[in-house]
Amino acid sequence: DGGITQSPKYLFRKEGQNVTLSCEQNLNHDAMYWYRQDPGQGLRLIYYSQIVNDFQKGDIAEGYSVSREKKESFPLTVTSAQKNPTAFYLCASSFTEETQYFGPGTRLLVL
Amino acid sequence: AQSVTQPDIHITVSEGASLELRCNYSYGATPYLFWYVQSPGQGLQLLLKYFSGDTLVQGIKGFEAEFKRSQSSFNLRKPSVHWSDAAEYFCAVGAALYNFNKFYFGSGTKLNVKP
């Protein structure tokens, strides 16, 4: 089955801790994206990557980091510098300049 | 600057009634336009998209949308709503930036369906 998987479904972060959200796709898409969703707001772009070993900051990159070592994988790390990390995080992928398809999301909560 | 406006935060319709969700965008060129649906705690599912050609596009689950360039609108419609359509709906604009298609999302419209 082709698609995008995100894990875990729920993630709890303690004060001062870095946590990593996983995103994998088997659609052979070139581009991958991370979005943050807060209640009552649309999606905001955190980072995107159009090719392996290259990525660009989106609109709200502060406190986050990413890597793109494989075409299929685009993990997002929420660092301790992100002071308000509680949100729903969505990963997406696409062929360049085409429709974006979304994973099921990870909800991050702060303990 | 590019932006997407969904004027209705919440809409309630009766099951079997027709539905129209509004979407207005601001973009200097011809945009790529999308509607997505999100059930609680889930990711976004693509309903339909417009790139070019016929301005009335058909999507999944009986939805359709019409692109009106003169009104900068891309409203979503369904002739008869089912209880399973209750969800949040997002309109998005894809704006070409060099070779990257950046998406701008509206803030969403929550649809409630009365039995």
Question: Which alpha helices (DSSP H) does B37-78 contain, by range?
Answer: none
CB-nearest partner of B43 from A96, A97, A102? A102
- 3-class secondary-structure state, position B85: helix
pLDDT band, very low/low/confident/very high, at B50 (cuts 50, 70, 90): very high
Encode pLDDT of B65-107 as tens digits: 999 999 999 999 999 999 999 999 999 998 776 656 788 999 9
Q: What pLDDT sits at residue B14?
A: 97
Confidence band, pLDDT 50/70/90 cuts, at residue A1: low
Q: Per the CB < 8 Å rule, is A40 touching B9?
A: yes
Share of chain A above pLDDT 70, in %: 96
In B19-108, beta strands by DSSP E:
19-21, 24-26, 32-38, 44-50, 56-58, 64-68, 73-78, 87-97, 100-105
pLDDT band at A98 (very low <50, low <70, confident <90, very high): confident
Instruction: Kindly provide the b/e burial profile for residues B4-35, where b requires at least 16 CB atoms within 10 angstroms of the residue's own CB.
Output: bebeeeebebeeeeebebbbbbebeeebbbbb
Confidence band (pLDDT; 50, 70, 90) for A73?
very high
Q: Residues B65, B41, A89, CA angle at the centre, nearest 5°?
A: 90
Are B34 and A90 inside 8 Å of each other by CB? Answer: no
Residues of A in contact with B104 (CB under 8 A): 42
Contact state of B100 with A99 under an 8 Å Cβ cutoff:
no
- State in Å, rounded, how far the first CA of chain B is from the last one: 41
Instruction: State the Cα–Cα distance between residues A44 and B3, nearest whole angstrom.
Output: 12
Model confidence over A24-68: pLDDT tens digits? 999 999 999 999 999 877 899 999 998 999 999 999 999 999 999
Torsion of CA A61, B96, B73, B2, to 10 degrees: 40
**A2, A99 Cβ separation under 8 angstroms:** no
